[in-house]
Amino acid sequence: MFHKLQQKWKVNGVNLLLILITFAIGGSLCGILGRKILGWINVDKGAAWIILYIIIMTLIWPTCVLFVSIFTGQLGFFKKYISKILKRFSGSAAPRQVTAPADSAFRLAIFASGAGSNAAQIIQHFKNNPEVRIEMVVCNKPGAGVLEVASEAGIDKILIERDRFFKGDGYVPLLKQHRITHIILAGFLWKVPSTILQQWPNAILNIHPALLPKYGGKGMYGAHVHEAVIANGEKESGITIHCVDEIYDNGDIILQVRCNVEETDTPNSLATKIHRLEHEHYPAAIEQFLKAKKALNKNVVSQS
């Protein structure tokens, strides 16, 4: 049961324990306050008392758990939790993609570790495309912004664990259960294990914030890349979209887009330029890659 709750709420074991403690203490506080309020109202116990008690408990419960969550360090979780409950009651929750995918549709899994800005762009790009379905978002970091991106888009989200990913089945059975055809890395900071690479050869794409083969390899991600580019006095940088293989940043290059590096640039300002290029080109490059693969598959079928 606890493992299912971890998966559902996308939290680790410690946070799950703190969340359950918050529920328990918040519920007890809610019950105490509810009875006190009814005492002030001076209602005789009976049907009316029970109805009023339920109404009061429902109204004050969010305030009680939010108050307790401040002390357990789970305020962020409960803000989102209560917000989702309110959206369900108001009917304003974001609907899941309703476009029915064709049997031959590409089904993508987006792997991400951070805020999810690239994931959001990809989801939006394919939102109404019946031939490409974003099936799930896979994340290795509890509380990462990309999980909220997935929730708002109505897309399934999976929080993965290190041991199973690297030493176990690599979540291959789960990915196959969802009929995943391609994996898209969008700021995913773990190296993809051979367990997955063997099952999806030439079907895993990544975007790197530099012009490979320069500034690639282990440890070269995010700010580390931009700091190195500026420290070495490079006149240009950019993005590289490539296939993923067993070696860091080594697969076949699909697209490179360049930008100038000015003398006044800082790692932050260069990162802004790079993010702009990523958002503009990554979704379109994925689409072109999939179209090319579909055309190739058609040729193979027609020739057989």
The terminus-to-terminus CA distance of the chain in angstroms comes to: 50
What is the predicted pLDDT for the residue at 7?
A: 59
What is the predicted pLDDT for the residue at 99?
A: 47
Q: Give the model confidence (pLDDT) of 282-298 as tens digits.
A: 999 999 999 998 887 76
What is the predicted pLDDT for the residue at 41?
A: 80
Domains (range + CATH), the chain: 2-90 (no CATH), 106-303 (3.40.50.170)
Catalytic residue, chosen from 208, 226, 242, 281, is 208
pLDDT, averaged across the chain: 87
197-230 exposure pattern, b = at least 16 Cβ within 10 A, e = fewer: beebeebbbbbbbbbbebbbeeebbeeebbebbb
- What is the pLDDT averaged over residues 151-179? 95
226 is catalytic: no
Q: How confident is the model at residue 94 (pLDDT cuts 50, 70, 90)?
A: very low
pLDDT at residue 92 tops 80: no
pLDDT at residue 26 tops 50: yes
- Whose structure tokens read 């089945």? 169
Question: Lowest-confidence range among 73-82, 147-156, 215-224, 233-242?
Answer: 73-82
Q: How confident is the model at residue 98 (pLDDT cuts 50, 70, 90)?
A: very low
What is the predicted pLDDT for the residue at 196?
A: 97
